């Protein structure tokens, strides 16, 4: 009896002793800094987004946010660091369609993205514009498709590289609408613009802001834009799906955490991200980037990520352009 009473007393004493430490631990979980590893150089759009959002996020969470750039290998170096971090919600990353879908498939990364990461929050979407040289006598995507069918392989289409977002977009147009073209991969958009203006190539894709700039003054002709809805800055420019129903190509940026991060932590960060995007001061800064807020739940983001992974991995396999 005495032993039993002594054990009960010791157990009760341990609970009283541990309680303050448990409380301190719980508090420290919500005061420790959150590290955001950006797998791209400072000044990259993904980096800009994180830095714009982080101030408001830190206020909402009551935690400092530390941004660390770890660029290299198309994002792989930084993403590996996050994938191997403790899944406690204190290390996250900013991913985008290229680093979380296209590059892993194209380059056969030693990292299973969907087994390594949890989607936390979609932040912004971005668009590209399909533009044509003025000497090509087409004024819409529909006319371009018809012209290409009547002149097989004659339309030269410039993109920023094999397997890039624009290249896959044009391949979707080939599959779903019969666009007939010859692909001309460039190293970057800077080289594409002069050749489009002079007519050395007929068609290309540019970031939305650049496409808008060159089409407004007549140097290029804008035919369509990727994205889910028309952009208020160019309300007369149709989306791909208006010409080819069901065809949607959406560039996106979003936060990811290591697999196994507690749902409570994921939901907490998600709420802070959505709050930051709704901040009018944030909106003012983001407007200059021509990207568009896409708030939602982790589950919403997970569905988008999985859908893009499935359809683009299938397309890349069909094209045979992944590394062997």
Q: Where in the chain is the domain with CATH 3.40.190.150?
A: 33-124+251-319
Packed helices 189-198 and 208-216: angle between N→C axes, nearest 10 degrees: 20
pLDDT in tens, the chain (324 residues): 434 444 443 433 333 444 443 333 344 456 799 999 999 999 999 999 999 999 999 999 999 999 999 999 989 999 999 999 999 999 999 999 999 999 999 999 999 999 999 999 999 998 899 999 999 999 999 999 999 999 999 999 999 999 999 999 999 999 999 999 999 999 877 889 999 999 999 999 998 888 888 999 999 999 999 988 888 888 899 999 999 998 988 899 999 999 999 999 999 999 999 999 999 999 999 987 888 899 999 999 999 999 999 999 999 999 999 886
Global confidence as pTM: 0.86
Q: Which fold has domain 33-124+251-319?
A: D-Maltodextrin-Binding Protein; domain 2 (3.40.190)
Q: What is the pLDDT of residue 233?
A: 80
Identify the three-state secondary structure at position 246.
coil
Is residue 275 within 8 A of residue 60, CB to CB? The reply is yes
pLDDT at res. 30 = 67
Backbone angles phi and psi of 156, in degrees to 5: -90, 125
Three-state DSSP at 238 gives: coil
Residues of the chain with CATH 3.40.190.10: 128-243
**How far is 239 from 226, CA to CA, in rounded Å?**
6
Cα distances from 23 to residues 18, 169, 261, 265, in angstroms, run: 9, 52, 21, 17
Question: d(Cα 135, Cα 320) in Å, to the nearest integer?
Answer: 33
Into which CATH architecture does domain 128-243 fall?
Answer: 3-Layer(aba) Sandwich (3.40)
């Amino acid at each position: 009896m005495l032993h039993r009473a002594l054990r009960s007393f010791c157990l009760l004493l341990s609970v009283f002793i541990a309680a303050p430490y448990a409380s301190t631990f719980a508090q420290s979980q919500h005061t420790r800094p959150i590290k955001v590893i950006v797998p791209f150089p400072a000044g990259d759009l993904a980096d800009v987004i994180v830095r714009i959002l982080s101030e408001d996020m830190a206020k909402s969470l009551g935690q400092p946010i530390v941004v660390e750039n770890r660029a290299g290998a198309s994002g792989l170096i930084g993403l590996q660091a996050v994938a191997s971090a403790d899944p406690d919600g204190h290390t996250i990353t900013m991913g985008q369609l290229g680093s979380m879908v296209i590059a892993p498939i194209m380059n056969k990364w030693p990292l299973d993205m969907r087994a390594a990461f949890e989607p936390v929050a979609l932040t912004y979407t971005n668009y590209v514009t399909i533009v044509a040289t003025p000497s090509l006598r087409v004024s819409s995507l529909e006319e371009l498709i018809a012209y290409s069918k009547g002149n097989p392989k004659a339309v030269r289409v410039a993109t920023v590289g094999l397997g890039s977002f624009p290249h896959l977009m044009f391949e979707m147009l080939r599959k779903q609408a019969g666009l007939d073209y010859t692909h001309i991969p460039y190293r970057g958009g800077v080289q594409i613009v002069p050749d489009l203006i002079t007519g050395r190539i007929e068609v290309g894709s540019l970031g939305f802001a650049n496409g808008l700039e060159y089409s407004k003054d007549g140097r290029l002709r804008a035919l369509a834009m990727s994205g889910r809805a028309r952009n208020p800055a160019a309300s007369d420019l149709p989306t791909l799906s208006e010409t080819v129903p069901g065809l949607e190509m959406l560039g996106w940026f979003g936060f990811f955490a290591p697999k196994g991060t507690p749902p409570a932590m994921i939901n907490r960060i998600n709420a802070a991200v959505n709050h930051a995007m709704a901040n009018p001061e944030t909106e003012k800064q983001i407007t200059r980037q021509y990207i568009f807020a896409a708030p939602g739940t982790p589950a919403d983001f997970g569905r988008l990520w999985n859908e893009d992974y499935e359809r683009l991995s299938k397309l890349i396999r069909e094209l045979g352009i992944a590394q062997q």
